[in-house]
Amino acid sequence: MAVSRQAKEESLKKATDVFDNSLSTVFVNFTGVGGNEIKDLRRDLNEKGVQYSVFKKTLIKIAASNSKVDGDMPNLENGEIALAYSTEEQTAPAASIKKWSKELGDKINIIGGVFEGEFKNKEEMIEIANIPSLEVLRGMFVNVINSPIQRMAIVLDQIAQTKA
């Protein structure tokens, strides 16, 4: 069944909003993914503040060219393309899709994305997926600050025990 012009315009507007308003966007190639797998994927992504929408490739290309994103858009391979995007956490879309690509194998792949207003290729998006979340980074920072203080307390305790 043909999609009406109005539906295409609404879809184009939504895709353009994704490019303009998300902190990061991942281009996802999915082929042969079952209905239950997609349902589980969407549920997991929603829990992490990531939206997942399927668009026609031509609409993605038009929306990307209408957006404020810099650089060259990666080649959209054969197969279906979806956008995983977030307005809350920069690394969540890439990390979540990477996790699911390990779980589902060749059925789902990162083929590129948008990060900090620039198009990124597959390799760059996979590196971004390896960056820990902001909460984890804050915890690591606190440990770095706390470590010398903790070591000093242990040393002072040892000195006190030897003198006692």
Statement to judge: residues 136 and 83 lie in one domain: no
Angle at 88 between CA 78 and CA 30, to 5 degrees: 15
Statement to judge: residues 76 and 150 lie in one domain: no
Statement to judge: residues 57 and 20 lie in one domain: yes
Domain count, the chain: 2
State how far the alpha carbon of 50 is from the alpha carbons of 89, 127, 132, 155, in Å. Answer: 8, 18, 16, 46
50 pLDDT band, cuts 50/70/90, is very high
Statement to judge: residues 80 and 146 lie in one domain: no
Q: Residue type for 127, please?
A: E
Entry pTM: 0.77
Of all residues in the chain, what percent carry a pLDDT higher than 90? 26
CATH, residue 126:
3.30.70.1730
Statement to judge: residues 161 and 86 lie in one domain: no
Statement to judge: residues 157 and 101 lie in one domain: no
Q: Is the Cβ–Cβ distance between 108 and 29 less than 8 Å? A: yes
The whole domain housing 139 covers 132-164
Statement to judge: residues 78 and 120 lie in one domain: yes
- For residues 98 and 113, what is the distance between their CA atoms, to the nearest angstrom? 13
Statement to judge: residues 119 and 63 lie in one domain: yes
95 pLDDT band, cuts 50/70/90, is very high
pLDDT at 88 over 60: yes
Tokens standing for 153?
């307390």
**In 28-80, where does DSSP find H-type helix?**
35-47, 57-66
- For residues 13 and 120, what is the distance between their CA atoms, to the nearest angstrom? 22
Query: Which residue did the predictor score with more confidence, 4 or 96?
Result: 96
Statement to judge: residues 45 and 56 lie in one domain: yes
- For residues 147 and 103, what is the distance between their CA atoms, to the nearest angstrom? 36
Statement to judge: residues 164 and 103 lie in one domain: no
pLDDT at 28 over 90: yes
Statement to judge: residues 67 and 18 lie in one domain: yes
Statement to judge: residues 25 and 79 lie in one domain: yes
- For residues 27 and 153, what is the distance between their CA atoms, to the nearest angstrom? 49
